[in-house]
Structure 1
Amino acid sequence: MKKLYKNIIVAILFGLAMVDSYATENGVDSAALGAEGFTAGALPPPGVYLLSYYQNYHANKMLDNQGDVSVPDFHVDSNALVTRLVWMTDKKILGGNLGFYAVQPFADLRISVAGMSDSNKGLGDLIFAPLLSWHSGNHHWATSIEGVFPTGDYDAPTIVKPIVANLGKNYYTVRPMFAYSYLGHGLDLSTKVSYSFNTENNDTNYQSGDYLAADYSFGYKVTPSLTFGAQGYVFKQLTDDESNYVDIGNKGQVIGVGPGIHYQPEPNWYLEGKYMKEIEVKNRPEGSATWMKFVWTF
């Protein structure tokens, strides 16, 4: 009985609320780490584009600040379909092409902690952003400010139900973003860097700290339509989490790394795949992520 009580307390402290299995409050956030890779900074010309992502994330460890296991019998498995609609206009601002995009994830989430479990499926939090993109020879770059809106399903953990597979975060995030690609001489050197500011989760009186997130890729064209390379991501939380307005630390970090492939036989569509293993993890789950990305021009 004593062991069961201890496990319940641990579960309450680490009960998860996630759409795609990433960090801050309870070890999660809304940054889709690893989603972007090859040509990340090379935004397309004016037109409407549909980007479809599939992600599987699996983890069986929750690690503390020393990188040691902090939660007993922890497992999470998330399958997500993410739709991004991009509209690049013919308008110019500061010499850059003006565009807009919206992102809507759909997730199937299963979690278990200390012998207790929950699952859920449905829509996650909506993302919307204006953007600007520039091109100069082999150099391409873009910038945007994302707004993450708490539209996904959310229930605060309770003693009766300490493990909740939430699809939304229940707080807003403002996220400035910068992306860059060098495309020339068969090389694809790309990155996307963002910084996230989070509001408080009013249901838990918890405010996740600010964090820096970056996707990166190093690729080489082996044929005109086929690129192989290494891809990954870096996550580093720079400010403490707050609970009831008190700093409690819990700064998360992770590095993801693995192989990637990009296939574009026609100018109006391409397919990209990657697998990334997580290392150097603190205060968040440790697992692996598989991404598939399909881009189509209307």
Structure 2
Amino acid sequence: MKYKKALTLAGLIAAAPLSSPALAANGHYVPGVEGIGGPAVPPPGVYYRGYLVHYDIDNLRDGQGNKAPGKNTGEVTALANRFIWITDKTFLGANYGMEAIVPLQDTSLNFRGLGVKDSDSGLGDIFIGPVVLGWHGQQWDAVFAAGHWFDTASYEPTEPASIGKGYGTTMLTLGGSWHFDADKRWSFSALSRYEIKTEQDDTDITPGDSWLVEWALSHRLDSGLNVGLVGYEAWQLERSKGTAADKAEKHALGAEVGYFWPHLGLGLNGAYYQEYNNEAGPEGDLLRLHLTKVF
């Protein structure tokens, strides 16, 4: 009962792509969807990026990182459609743009140790980002962005696999890349997200603020193939108001490969992450593919 109350009240066993408590630490954004080149804002133009994410839940962890009793498994498959417009306008020396994310997802939870079995699929909470700023130097790139996840998807407090989360989230982004050589063959990047949530529908719970960092150390081969070591670290910074649930935490390490075809305006990246040392939520492995198309 102790585990069921903590996990359910915190909303840690609901799910939605790029907006899932099963995937996220405790907010909307899912760590691991960006890796190599994540902080680099592209030149002016219109872009589509599709993120296909599959997350296998191996177990559930309590606030001290211990496994919940029994066998608790599940999976989330998500497709997030991201639309980006970088204008020819500048602000504070940065290229200005905007973005939107429309996610779709399917979730199946079988937490037998907690007596929870549920599934759902559909349209997730939608993100609108009216501010994207990108700076570029000879051997560096930087980004700042701001936007909001809207409470648009279906949410039921008694259904742990609900598509929506029942609250909105303001998300602030800050990140940068450093290229170790003039040809930009070797690079290190870090992309951070800070999330501030509203009160959840029907529960009187306000999830605590969270912060995460996605990082990548990458190398571009002579063939043009990018390979890299990637990872993410995510923390719930404060306890949620209206519940005694523990603060969530997630950590993962993985590898990524990617290639861009300039004549097609097309890029494809794939990454695999293995989570470790999680607290107050699911733990498992994440497979991510993302397709980028330049229009």
Tell me the distance in 2 between the aligned counterparts of 1:252 and 1:150: 21
Q: Hey, which bits of structure 1, 4+ residues long, moved more than 6 A? A: none
Spell out, residue by residue over 1:159-187, the C-alpha distance to the aligned partner (whole angstroms, 9 max, x if none): xxxx4311111101111101212235311
Moved more, 261-270 or 163-172: 261-270
The aligned amino acid for 2:101 is V
2:199 alignment counterpart: 200
Tell me the distance in 2 between the aligned counterparts of 1:23 and 1:80: 13
- 1:124 and 2:136 correspond: no
1:160 alignment counterpart: none
Spell out, residue by residue over 1:10-40, the C-alpha distance to the aligned partner (whole angstroms, 9 max, x if none): 546534222148549x964311211111111
Q: Are the equivalent residues in 2 in contact too, given 1:96–1:132 (CA < 8 A)?
A: yes
1:60 alignment counterpart: 58
- 1:261 and 2:287 correspond: no
Residue 193 of structure 1 aligns to a residue whose secondary structure is strand
Moved more, 69-78 or 49-58: 69-78
1:275 alignment counterpart: 272
Q: Are the equivalent residues in 2 in contact too, given 1:22–1:284 (CA < 8 A)?
A: no
- 1:153 and 2:151 correspond: no
Residue 200 of structure 1 aligns to a residue whose secondary structure is coil
Tell me the distance in 1 between the aligned counterparts of 2:215 and 2:234: 12
Tell me the distance in 2 between the aligned counterparts of 1:118 and 1:280: 26
Tell me the distance in 2 between the aligned counterparts of 1:201 and 1:189: 37
Q: Are the equivalent residues in 2 in contact too, given 1:22–1:285 (CA < 8 A)?
A: no
Q: Are the equivalent residues in 2 in contact too, given 1:60–1:287 (CA < 8 A)?
A: yes
Superposition pairs of residues 117-196 of structure 1, within 5 angstroms: 117-129=117-129, 130-157=131-158, 163-183=159-179, 185=181, 186-196=185-195
Structure 1: runs of 5+ lacking an equivalent: 1-5, 158-162
RMSD: 2.1
Tell me the distance in 2 between the aligned counterparts of 1:116 and 1:210: 27
The offset of 1:41, in angstroms, is 1.7
The aligned amino acid for 2:268 is L
Q: Sequence identity of aligned pairs in percent?
A: 27
- CA 1:226 to 1:27, structure 2 compared with 1: closer, same or farther past 3 Å? closer
1:51 alignment counterpart: 49
Q: Are the equivalent residues in 2 in contact too, given 1:11–1:113 (CA < 8 A)?
A: no
The aligned amino acid for 1:217 is A
2:232 alignment counterpart: 233
- 1:286 and 2:279 correspond: no
Q: Are the equivalent residues in 2 in contact too, given 1:64–1:284 (CA < 8 A)?
A: yes
Residue 153 of structure 2 aligns to a residue whose secondary structure is coil
Q: Are the equivalent residues in 2 in contact too, given 1:197–1:209 (CA < 8 A)?
A: yes
Q: Are the equivalent residues in 1 in contact too, given 2:35–2:216 (CA < 8 A)?
A: yes
Q: Are the equivalent residues in 1 in contact too, given 2:26–2:207 (CA < 8 A)?
A: no
Q: Which has the higher strand share?
A: 1
- CA 1:40 to 1:100, structure 2 compared with 1: closer, same or farther past 3 Å? same
The offset of 1:263, in angstroms, is 0.9
- 1:14 and 2:11 correspond: no
The aligned amino acid for 1:49 is Y
Residue 117 of structure 1 aligns to a residue whose secondary structure is strand
Tell me the distance in 2 between the aligned counterparts of 1:156 and 1:27: 18
Tell me the distance in 2 between the aligned counterparts of 1:86 and 1:177: 15
Q: Are the equivalent residues in 2 in contact too, given 1:14–1:71 (CA < 8 A)?
A: no
Spell out, residue by residue over 1:45-76, the C-alpha distance to the aligned partner (whole angstroms, 9 max, x if none): 11100001100001121111221123543222
Pairs aligned (count): 283
Moved more, 257-266 or 80-89: 257-266
1:101 to 99, 102, 109: 99
The offset of 1:109, in angstroms, is 0.5
The aligned amino acid for 2:89 is K
Tell me the distance in 2 between the aligned counterparts of 1:71 and 1:103: 36
Structure 2: runs of 5+ lacking an equivalent: none
Residue 282 of structure 1 aligns to a residue whose secondary structure is coil
The aligned amino acid for 2:269 is E
